[in-house]
A and B are shown apart, each in its own frame.
Chain A
């Protein structure tokens, strides 16, 4: 089973600032996923991060707002840029082991004031 370390676990940020979330996996994986979970709702996929290529963003999410890096097969970052209170959510990174079983990091609970 893949073990994923995600940090920070939570943060409180001011409007207009940016936060970078880090995700480290204990094994090499091809695809990493970044999700957002707004209060009381289910998960929404932000983007899929592939090593060596640009991330693939879902409808409604853009690179300028959520830039993603994937420098190698075990690490990725998601930045939430120019934050507003509407960005207050839990952000989750995930990997698919053997492209079929999902594992998640512990999540980053973000509050924007």
Chain B
């Protein structure tokens, strides 16, 4: 069964810290992996997409890495800000079958 897990479930950090969110998937035969941000009661906003042939993608203060063989992806957030507070979800794409992780709820304290 294809499953995606995320660690930690929740994280609280002071403003300015660098932090890492983890995503693990049981089936390494992914087409790509996508990271999303979700604000309370809202839809998902795409942050980064990494193709299975790529090792990492960067957008501003965000960097996502992918180790397909070990079934892991990480989202690195540099110099965190209170506006980064949200839930972060990863989704593994198995050919139009998208499997979501449960998310990491991030709070950045001013």
Contacts and interface: CB of A to CB of B under 8 A. Distances in A.
Interface string A90-113: 101010100111111111010000
A6 interface: yes
A43 interface: yes
A43 B31 CA distance: 19
Nearest to A108: B43
A101 B46 contact: yes
Interface in A65-106: 90, 92, 94, 96, 99-106
Contacts of B49: 100-101
Nearest to A48: B96
B22 to A, nearest CB: 15
Contacts of B36: 102, 104
Given A42-B89, A109-B41, A31 B102 contact: no
A53 interface: no
A45 B42 CA distance: 17
Interface residues of B, number: 20
B41, B42, B43, B98, most chain A CB atoms within 10 A: B43
B23 to A, nearest CB: 12
Contacts of A41: 102
A102 B90 CA distance: 11
B91 interface: yes
Given A92-B43, A101-B32, A106-B42, 13 more contacts: A1-B46, A4-B43, A6-B43, A41-B102, A42-B89, A42-B103, A43-B44, A43-B89, A102-B44, A102-B91, A102-B93, A102-B98, A104-B45
Considering the complex of A and B, which 6 residue pairs feature the smallest CB-CB distances, nearest first? A107-B43, A104-B43, A104-B44, A42-B102, A106-B43, A43-B100
10 contacts: A1-B46, A42-B102, A43-B44, A43-B89, A99-B96, A101-B34, A102-B34, A102-B44, A104-B44, A106-B43
